[in-house]
Amino acid sequence: MKTVLITGAGIGIGRATAKMFGAQGWRVIVTDVLASEGNAVTDEITAAGGTAEFHELDVTSTEAAEAVVGAVQTQYGALDALICNAGIAHKVPLAELTDEKWDHTFEIDLKGMLRVIRPAAAEMKKAGGGAIVCLSSIMGVAYGWDEHVHYSAAKSGVVGLVRGLGVELARNGIRVNGVAPGYIRTAQALSTEHSLGPEGLEKAAEFIPAGRVGEPEDIADVINFLVSDAARYMTGQVVTVDGGLLVGRY
């Protein structure tokens, strides 16, 4: 049985991705700082006949990341796939963007990925390969948004991470790719405080060529492709999945 570890798997894109892998017969290692949500998706997967277990994980802690990844690898061997999905996106105007707020975003959205990739890649090398997928954003590739400069900068960093590791790890049979989602119907996007809110999200559909906002499952399916053998010759790439927003509007 193949094993996949997903960070931020309790809600949104992470949750949809965990359920997708569970339905395909993978052993799903659900990790999240949100224990109740993480346990809930784990229960959903097992109730549907899949195999899953939950490990509480705060990706801002190097010690915690290494402990969780290490424990999983000790029990099951090298991961076949690692999905670095955990992230935050808080709306903060520049005048209020303190060093602490900037650093907190980077600790989760960028450095949090590195913390789980390091121990996972070490075992993948010994096993002869593996697949890593990192979640960026359209705001990390070509799209600026008011009061989200820290988020855009961190997600741009994810693009650099994917490219650099894609090259460095290719010789070890490890593929590293990314996904840059557009407007997706998640709790984050539905937050009026930090994003568009319900009405704003529906209004966004008016200028998306596909005519709708994306669903978490739309991203999960692309992650599935990137992990699969169908993407065996792809590495160091970030795939934009936005319903045509960037090419249609810009």
Single-letter amino acid code for the residue at 154 = A
Task: Let me know if 62 is exposed, middle or buried by CB neighbors in 10 A (0-12, 13-18, 19+).
Answer: middle
**Active site residues per annotation:** 151
pTM beyond 0.75: the answer is yes
Q: Is the pLDDT of residue 178 over 70?
A: yes
pLDDT tens digits for 118-160? 999 999 999 999 999 999 999 999 988 888 999 999 999 999 9
Cα distance between residue 3 and residue 73, in whole Å: 9
pLDDT for 198 equals 72
Cβ distance 184 to 213 under 8 Å?
yes
As to burial, measured by CB atoms within 10 angstroms (0-12 exposed, 13-18 middle, 19+ buried), residue 114 is middle
Residue 171 contacts by C-beta under 8 Å, 6 or more apart in sequence? none
Q: Cβ–Cβ contacts within 10 Å for residue 97, how many? A: 16
For the chain, what is the largest distance between any 2 Cα atoms, rounded to a whole number of angstroms?
50
CA atoms of 233 and 194, how far apart (whole Å): 38
146 against 37, higher pLDDT? 37
Domains of the chain: 3-182+218-249 (3.40.50.720)
- In this structure, are residues 42 and 19 in contact, taking their beta carbons and an 8 Å threshold? no
What confidence tier does 189 reach under pLDDT thresholds 50, 70, 90? low
Residue whose structure tokens are 């029990």:
75
pLDDT for res 250: 57
